[in-house]
Amino acid sequence: MRACVNGSRKRLESAAFPLKIEFMGSQFSGAETAAEFLAGQLLIAMPGIGDPRFERSLILVCAHDEQHAMGVAVNQPVAGLTVPDLLERLNITATIDAPPDLVLLGGPVERERGFVLHTTDYRSQEMTLDITEGVALTATRDVLEAMASDKGRPRRSFLALGYAGWGAGQLEREIRENVWLTCPPDEELLFGSDHEAKWSKALAKLGVDPRLLSAQTGGRA
């Protein structure tokens, strides 16, 4: 996997938010994504993936086209770093007792970049990317301020640092080689706090018992 470097991007910056954010432009919305593309689907890492950064990973594909794909892991917490901790570091004053949700590691690429995946009851004007029904991605300071407030706060959300990226045809090839399985997301897989169990639960949605999977099926190219 590598950083996505081609195609149109929307750059989102805030002087007070020291994480410089980029994500794919609005042309990757679900209504315009071809059927064979995987935006809005979850990738389930197969045993034997051959890369410890992705062992037992569950990644939501946020953008996918002929040139690249980009996704955010939903089950890789950063040990000891909570959302309130990070909000405090960013000088965002909470007006509520924000729950001590762990910040997630979205992927190995550009870990200085922050992304908030959230339910669509929150929306930043022109700065929110729809991923799938009821789920969107925002990468600006205002979503962090909303998370710290009781006004306009998304019903469910998580904050991730970094992302996973693929070049042209790379994700499609990895799926053909059984590096990943795919399944539709649900709120508990995306926003639930039992990160350790998410991988097995995603497999269970497909009727797959992880104990029966061979480590030979997920070999990396």
Contact indicator for 81, 73 with CB cutoff of 8 Å: no
Distances (CA, A) of 208 to 171, 183, 199, 213: 22, 11, 11, 8
| pLDDT for residue 214 | 63
179 domain-assigned: yes
Q: Into how many domains does the chain fold?
A: 1
220 domain-assigned: no
Contact indicator for 160, 58 with CB cutoff of 8 Å: no
| pLDDT for residue 36 | 58
Quick count: other Cβ atoms within 10 Å of Cβ 140?
18
213 domain-assigned: no
pLDDT digits (tens, 9 = 90+) for 109-140: 999 889 999 999 999 876 899 999 999 999 98
| pLDDT for residue 179 | 93
Residue 41 in this model has a pLDDT that exceeds 90: yes
pLDDT digits (tens, 9 = 90+) for 133-185: 999 999 988 999 999 998 889 999 999 999 999 999 999 999 999 999 999 99
217 domain-assigned: no
Give burial (CB, 10 Å; 0-12/13-18/19+) of 168. Answer: middle
Contact indicator for 122, 30 with CB cutoff of 8 Å: no
CATH of the domain at 183: 3.40.1740.10
127 domain-assigned: yes
pLDDT digits (tens, 9 = 90+) for 183-219: 999 999 999 999 999 999 999 999 998 887 765 554 4
1 domain-assigned: no
Of residues 7, 36, 35, 1, the one with CA closest to residue 22 = 7
Give burial (CB, 10 Å; 0-12/13-18/19+) of 126. Answer: exposed
| pLDDT for residue 13 | 29
Check residue 52 and report its DSSP letter: G
93 domain-assigned: yes
43 domain-assigned: yes
Range of the domain at 154: 9-208
Q: What percent of the chain has pLDDT over 90?
A: 64
